[in-house]
């Protein structure tokens, strides 16, 4: 891919709210013949302009695989992915992925990591630097601009990575379980940081998680996925007012209704694969059974 094409693709941003993505009948099969493994089957959904769509599904169901296809790193085996009507076939400046594990460049300071995108495009301007400072401040890393990723805590790394993506103002932002593996306190803090960033930066966003509370707190719409080979099992609209607060949500009846519905769907999916003997699914059922009993 050359820079020319990427530059062009970044200019298709037609709306300040970002782009619209449609996934139509997408399947993904890895390997061939006896080794073929179907990970995604006939999956369709849309990411609406300026909306935050959260995908929630059992561990290992194929969420990251869908993300790699949306990002253009891999192609679907069949079906189509379009961005504002144009087929997605390669990575582009219009779609930015925040990966499941930290992908900060270990050899660059926090500041240099954040400025990576602007510099790659020759935009190391005073305005950009000011914006980088602003983002550093927003994610609470002012004092850490010169530190390397290895010197940051897990939560700080995730924040630095959010800032590194946000500075590029992508038309679509894709986050793959960005807060996975963080302790409960840090996670809650991160959700608040992220929510604040999103309020200011309302663009089409695709957020993948396995945490139902996180999903309800953030989403405009929740896609509940089936087990592998995955497809959309149900779509739930979350019409709670914004800005939201974690405390309000735990006491909100609508939110609880959504949660119960989502949990029972997820529970069903997990039971299906439990019947097929998946250890991950069994753990999933246990964990959720415990949570439901507590509440």
Ligand X SMILES: Nc1ncnc2c1ncn2[C@@H]1O[C@H](COP(=O)(O)OP(=O)(O)OP(=O)(O)O)[C@@H](O)[C@H]1O
Q: Is 75 in the site for ligand X (CB under 6 A)?
A: no
137 binds, among Mg ion, ligand X, other proteins, none (CB under 5 to 8 A by kind): none
Q: Is 93 in the site for other proteins (CB under 8 A)?
A: yes
Give the whole-angstrom CA distance, residue 90 versus residue 66. Answer: 14
**DSSP code string of 159-223:** HHHHHHHHTT--SEEEEESTTTT--HHHHHHHHHHHHHHHHHS--EEEEEES-HHHHHHH-SEEE
In angstroms, give the least distance from the CB of 185 to other proteins: 22
Q: What DSSP element (H or E) covers 281?
A: helix 279-294
Give the whole-angstrom CA distance, residue 63 versus residue 55. Answer: 8
In angstroms, give the least distance from the CB of 60 to Mg ion: 8
- Residues 91-120 binding ligand X (CB under 6 A) are 100
Kindly give, in sequence order, each residue whose CB lies less than 8 Å from that of residue 67, ignoring residues fewer than 6 positions away. Answer: 97, 174, 176, 206, 208
CA distance readout (Å), 72 to 146, 154, 200: 32, 27, 27
In angstroms, give the least distance from the CB of 162 to Mg ion: 18
Residue choice 26, 55, 61, 262 for contact with ligand X (CB under 6 A): 61
Q: Is 65 in the site for ligand X (CB under 6 A)?
A: yes
- Residues 164-203 binding other proteins (CB under 8 A) are 164, 168
Q: Is 63 in the site for ligand X (CB under 6 A)?
A: yes
Q: Pick the piece of the chain touching other proteins (CB under 8 A) from 43-51, 95-103, 250-258, 287-295.
A: 95-103
- Residues 49-108 binding Mg ion (CB under 5 A) are 64
Kindly give, in sequence order, each residue whose CB lies less than 8 Å from that of residue 53, ignoring residues fewer than 6 positions away. Answer: 45, 47, 205, 206, 207, 219, 220, 221, 222, 223
Q: How many CA atoms lie within 13 A of 101 on its CB side?
A: 2
Q: Is 60 in the site for ligand X (CB under 6 A)?
A: yes
Give the whole-angstrom CA distance, residue 50 versus residue 202. Answer: 6
Q: Pick the piece of the chain touching ligand X (CB under 6 A) from 58-66, 75-83, 109-117, 152-160.
A: 58-66
Residue choice 39, 88, 115, 224 for contact with ligand X (CB under 6 A): 39
In angstroms, give the least distance from the CB of 131 to ligand X: 31
Q: Which residue number, 59 or 82, has a Cβ lying nearer to ligand X?
A: 59
- Residues 122-161 binding other proteins (CB under 8 A) are 147-151
CA distance readout (Å), 23 to 26, 44, 82, 238: 7, 5, 7, 21
For other proteins, the binding residues (CB under 8 A) are 1-3, 6-7, 10, 71, 73, 91-93, 95-97, 99, 101, 103, 105-108, 116-117, 120-121, 147-151, 164, 168
Where on the chain is the footprint of ligand X (CB under 6 A)?
30, 37, 39, 59-65, 100, 228
């Amino acid at each position: 891919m050359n820079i020319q094409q990427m530059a062009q693709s970044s200019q298709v941003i037609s709306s300040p709210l970002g782009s619209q993505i449609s996934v139509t009948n997408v399947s993904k099969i890895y390997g061939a013949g006896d080794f073929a493994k179907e990970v995604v089957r006939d999956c369709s959904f849309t990411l609406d302009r300026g909306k935050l769509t959260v995908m929630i599904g059992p561990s290992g169901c194929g969420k990251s695989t869908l993300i790699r296809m949306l990002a253009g790193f891999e192609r679907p085996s069949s079906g189509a992915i379009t961005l504002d009507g144009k087929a997605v076939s390669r990575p582009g400046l219009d779609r930015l992925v925040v990966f499941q594990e930290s992908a900060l460049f270990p050899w660059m300071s926090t500041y240099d990591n954040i400025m990576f995108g602007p510099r790659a495009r020759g935009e190391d301007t005073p305005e950009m630097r000011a914006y980088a400072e602003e983002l550093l401040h927003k994610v609470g890393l002012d004092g850490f601009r010169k530190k390397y990723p290895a010197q940051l805590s897990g939560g700080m790394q995730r924040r630095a990575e959010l800032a590194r993506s946000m500075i590029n103002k992508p038309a679509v932002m894709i986050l793959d379980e960005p807060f996975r593996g963080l302790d409960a306190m840090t996670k809650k803090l991160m959700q608040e940081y992220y929510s604040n960033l999103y309020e200011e930066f309302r663009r089409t966003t695709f957020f993948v998680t396995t945490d139902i509370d996180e999903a309800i707190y953030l989403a405009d719409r929740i896609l509940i996925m089936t087990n592998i080979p995955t497809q959309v099992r149900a779509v739930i609209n979350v019409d709670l007012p914004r800005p939201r607060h974690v405390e309000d949500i735990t006491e909100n009846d609508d939110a609880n209704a959504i949660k119960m519905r989502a949990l029972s769907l997820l529970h069903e999916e997990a039971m299906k694969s439990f019947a097929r003997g998946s250890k991950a699914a069994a753990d999933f059922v246990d964990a959720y059974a415990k949570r439901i009993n507590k509440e």
